[in-house]
């Protein structure tokens, strides 16, 4: 079977993401010997095609990583997240 390789252009981006989500994604990418960018591209392309990006084995692994990193957020929390406020810096007098 011949694999068709498609040439693409990648760009660097500064995306902000919830800390524990990032830890789980990085652990999953490392486990599968992928870059974080490759993993995210795969997840997004699957979602765009209305397909699940993960099989049963990966879902079990994700659940373990979620426990390790204390990730208790679910899809129900999507679009309802608020960043913690940071205390204002005191000005030097």
Q: What is the pTM of this model?
A: 0.83
Question: What phi-psi label fits residue 56: left (phi over 0), alpha (psi between -120 and 50 degrees) or beta?
Answer: alpha
Confidence of residue 2 (pLDDT cuts 50, 70, 90): confident
Q: Which residue range(s) make up the domain with 44?
A: 31-72
Average confidence (pLDDT) over 15-37: 97
93 in any annotated domain = no
Structural domain includes residue 65: yes
Domains: count for the chain: 1
Residue 42 included in any domain: yes
Closest CA to 70 of 22, 17, 15: 22
Burial class (CB in 10 A: 0-12, 13-18, 19+), 40: middle
Q: What is the pLDDT of residue 87?
A: 66
Q: pLDDT per residue over 30-64, tens digit each?
A: 999 999 999 999 999 999 999 999 999 999 999 99
What are the structure tokens assigned to 50, written together?
A: 């209305």
Q: What is the DSSP letter of 75?
A: G
Residue 87 within a domain:
no
d(CA 55, CA 80): 27
Is 82 within a domain? Answer: no
Q: Grade residue 93 by pLDDT with cuts at 50, 70 and 90.
A: low
- Distances from the Cα of 76 to the Cα of 31, 67, 72, 73, 83, angstroms: 26, 18, 11, 8, 17
Q: Is residue 91 part of a domain?
A: no
């Amino acid at each position: 079977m011949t694999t068709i390789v498609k040439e693409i252009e990648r760009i660097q981006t500064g995306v902000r993401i919830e800390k524990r989500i990032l830890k789980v994604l990085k652990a999953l990418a490392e486990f599968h010997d992928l870059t974080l960018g490759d993993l995210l591209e795969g997840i997004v392309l699957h979602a765009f095609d209305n397909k699940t990006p993960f099989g049963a084995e990966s879902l079990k692994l994700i659940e373990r990583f979620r426990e390790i990193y204390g990730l208790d957020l679910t899809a129900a929390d999507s679009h309802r997240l608020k960043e913690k406020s940071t205390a204002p810096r005191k000005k030097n007098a």
